[in-house]
Amino acid sequence: MKEQLAALEKAGELPMLDRSTDIVGPDADRNGIRDYIDAYIAALPVSEPVKKAARQRARVQQKIQTTNLNDRSELLSLADASMASTACMSSSILEGVPAELQSKILREGHAITFKIQAITANTPERADRYLAYTRALDGTTTTYPTGRVCED
């Protein structure tokens, strides 16, 4: 498996992932998104509004790695931000898409969102942290947001 991942990275089909044990990972420009995730988003063949939505999602996923799991208010706020980033991706990727193509295009937006989630939790330490976050939210509910959901 390790060799297969390395081959995909070398071929450019996967971004060169940081696999250090550091929970936060590299973020040279300090924009709240790991550098290799920034590179992945920049290379996506999508519109700029969809890239902005992807960056919003990436910032949420990164915050999950550092949030205080004992602070219920912070957890709920982050869960709301996660829902907003999902709604932002949906509205951004569907902009101007004919009704008959919306289901297919929406799946593509979800795939981007899930890929960002996966490459953010790409080491055992990061995956454990993500799972701890989801356990900390156990028993809570969120609602799908309406109104302005995109940050920028």
Rounded Cα gap, residues 142 and 76, in angstroms = 8
pLDDT tens-digit readout, 90-144 = 999 999 999 999 999 999 999 999 999 999 998 999 999 999 999 999 999 889 9
Who contacts 105 (Cβ-Cβ below 8 Å, separation ≥6)? 93, 94, 97
Rounded Cα gap, residues 3 and 41, in angstroms = 24
Rounded Cα gap, residues 115 and 48, in angstroms = 18
pLDDT at 13 over 60: yes
Who contacts 137 (Cβ-Cβ below 8 Å, separation ≥6)? 75, 79
pTM across the whole model: 0.88
